[in-house]
Chain A
């Protein structure tokens, strides 16, 4: 069964450093998402991406964040200058069809980011 994959599983970085989190969505999916979950808190939407551009972003997704689909398979989230409060689990998700469709979003296993 196809699945979303993410690397690395765990990233430790110093405050102020740049990190890139990588995702490979399911191959025939067209809509891509990043969510984060701070330990003990709920899953929060960061950004959605379709047709090689950001379709929607939350208040959390400020100028320090960017997303890219550099080739036909990878989808990345970059945090330019990490802060302590960026420590969280970051989940990538993909969905085959979109718009107001209720097609299912499938989540990757997550990258645990720890900022020291």
Chain B
């Protein structure tokens, strides 16, 4: 089956670094995606990994280990506006449908 697990909630302090983990049990994911979702809004693309290793995009980085079924999103220099849900998703099948985890709600405090 296809299952994606991530922590429900995390808190962090403004200016700090936070790592949001995601584990998955599936075969055949085309890639692993991270989206940000503010309450009541659409998911916004942040980063994706196809191959093992780290992808860096400004304050956001994402890591993938396919053999371990594990990914993480690293957010640096946290800002208050980073308070949101972070969704881990696997691209699956010939038409790349996204299978989402339940999301991690991040609260950034001053």
Contacts and interface: CB of A to CB of B under 8 A. Distances in A.
- Say what secondary structure dominates the interface of chain B: strand
Interface residues of A, number: 29
A101 B30 contact: yes
Interface string A81-116: 000000000010101001111111111111000000
Contact of B96 (A91, A100, A109): A100
Interface of A: 31, 33, 35, 41-45, 48, 50, 55-56, 58, 91, 93, 95, 98-110
Contacts of B101: 42
Contacts of A35: 98
Interface residues of B, number: 25
Contacts, number: 72
A48 B100 CA distance: 15
Contacts of A108: 42
B88 to A, nearest CB: 10
A18 B45 CA distance: 32
Contact of A109 (B41, B45, B103): B41
Contacts of B97: 33, 45, 48, 56, 58
A56 B100 CA distance: 16
Among the interface residues B41, B43, B50, which one has the most CB atoms of the partner chain A within 10 A? B43
B54 interface: no
A55 B42 contact: no
A98 B103 CA distance: 25
